[in-house]
Amino acid sequence: MARETIVTCAVTGGHQNFHDHPDFPISPKQIAESAIEARKAGAAVAHIHVREPDGSRSGNPEYFREVVERIRDADCDVLINLTTGEGARYFPSEEDPQVGGPGSSLSTPEVRVRHVLDLRPDICTLDVATMNFGEAVFMNTPAHLRRMAELIKDAGVKPEIEVFEPGHIRLAVDMIKNGYIESPPLFQLCLGIPWGSPATPQMVQVMHSMLPTDANWAAFGISRWEFPIVAEVVNNGGHVRVGLEDNLYLSKGEYASNGQLVDKAVRIMRELDAEPVEPERAAEMLDLLPRAQ
């Protein structure tokens, strides 16, 4: 019997190489349509960032609202997972490193989760990570994480705990132990991002071994590691994430859509005796609260 597996599609992300793709989803309308396309291809969850009209990353709550409303108005049953990652980047200024320079976006926990409290999605991310992220510092202090977790919990939303290296799992486990995150937790292992853990089978196995025994978990690899990690995760009993946030290509030199990436992931899964589940079943597996009517 095929193993039930949840497929998440990370629709657009916040990276700045979107110029390299001829049909990248940027507007709320394009992001919503791409999430719906991914659902039709087999995704049960759509992980959503939003962007400014020029393509730059954004935390504008009105953009999130438009995306969510467009998906729901289309009568699409995909589970909605909103990022809270915006507001965590820090570039020290040249004049005074204690002051943020151009590109810094540090904000309060309340600002970072305001769209979650307003829209009450099924899931939202909680990046348990402070790390060098490209040339920036991705800064999530324990105090900020605890406050964000409290707000998310009070809103009745399931946090997807994003971890980029083993130490992040240790912090997340401590937060679970102290009641900031309820069990069973949901983890996403984020692999291949500079300068976090590499996207290798060994890292999947090491990080998986550190998770709580009752955890639901998924993992992804960026760029050329996207599909090898799909296979590795399925073989280790995890769930799957693909999408244009993580990889622009279906194969070398061939640009992908989100639907095509999901379709390819599903074909790989089925070769390994895993079957994508519908959103209703995914909600049961993740112990989500019933969606408000």
pLDDT at 263: 98
Q: pLDDT tens digit string along 218-242?
A: 999 999 999 999 999 999 999 999 9
CATH class of the region 3-285: alpha beta
Q: pLDDT tens digit string along 84-101?
A: 999 999 999 999 999 999
For 52, phi and psi rounded to 5 degrees? -75, 165
Q: pLDDT tens digit string along 118-145?
A: 999 999 999 998 999 888 899 999 999 9
- For the cut 90, the answer to whether the pLDDT of residue 16 exceeds it is no
Domain definitions of the chain by residue range: 3-285
Task: Answer for the pair 218, 226: CB distance below 8 angstroms, yes or no.
Answer: no
Q: How many residues does the chain have?
A: 293
Task: Answer for the pair 5, 254: CB distance below 8 angstroms, yes or no.
Answer: no
Q: pLDDT tens digit string along 47-73?
A: 999 999 999 999 999 999 999 999 999
Q: pLDDT tens digit string along 145-195?
A: 999 999 999 999 999 999 999 999 999 999 999 999 999 999 999 999 999
Token duo for residue 7: 């497929």
